[in-house]
Amino acid sequence: MDGLTAFLETATSVLALVAGAGAVLIVAARVLAPRLPIAARLGGRVVAWRAELTLAVAGVSTLGSLYFSEVADYVPCRLCWYQRIAMYPIAVVAVVALIRRDGNARFYVAPMALVGAGISGYHYLIERGVLRDTESCGLFGPACADVWFEEFGFVTLAFMALAGFVAILVVNLVPFPASKESS
């Protein structure tokens, strides 16, 4: 493995953890918003920056997955492809939403992110050995239980996808009372 790939494995793993922590922070801010003005202000900023935050997460996820498969030669399994089918359009929708300043794009993004989160959660459970790989993945590529790399003892590509999808869901669906949202 070359130095760039090793660096990107660690960097994207850290970004996934940041996305997951950000999602937790946003949910906590929503719970605390009625009592803490700073939490309400944070929520207002999240609402105002929805398209940018969605594009950041989906864009990094898309570029990262393309790097790992096309440059690092990590062949995606069947579930990885399904996760890509959910993530890549989110990046495109986020670009269009950003250009058009469309606050309603979240209603198009959320279903794709929900499906992607379900697939990546299922994939992660297979990687961890909690669920059994049906072996249908391995017929046309690597088995879904195969792990290309693992950082910090638990962060894998499926975990990173799950963190990205959850962050996108939280950014796009958690309402804040003081925000002026499009319906």
- Half-sphere exposure of residue 143, counting CA atoms within 13 Å on the CB side? 10
pLDDT at residue 178, rounded to an integer: 52
Rounded to 5 degrees, φ, ψ at 35 are -105, -25
Per-residue pLDDT of the chain (183 residues; tens, 9 = 90+): 799 999 999 999 999 999 999 999 999 999 999 999 999 999 999 999 999 999 999 999 999 999 999 999 999 999 999 999 999 999 999 999 999 999 899 999 999 999 999 999 999 999 999 998 877 666 677 889 999 999 999 999 999 999 999 999 999 999 987 544 444
pLDDT at residue 140, rounded to an integer: 72
Sign of CA dihedral 70, 75, 81, 87: negative
Residue the block writes with tokens 């088995």: 143
Q: Tokens standing for 144?
A: 């879904």
For helices 157-173 and 50-66, give the axis angle rounded to 10 degrees: 170
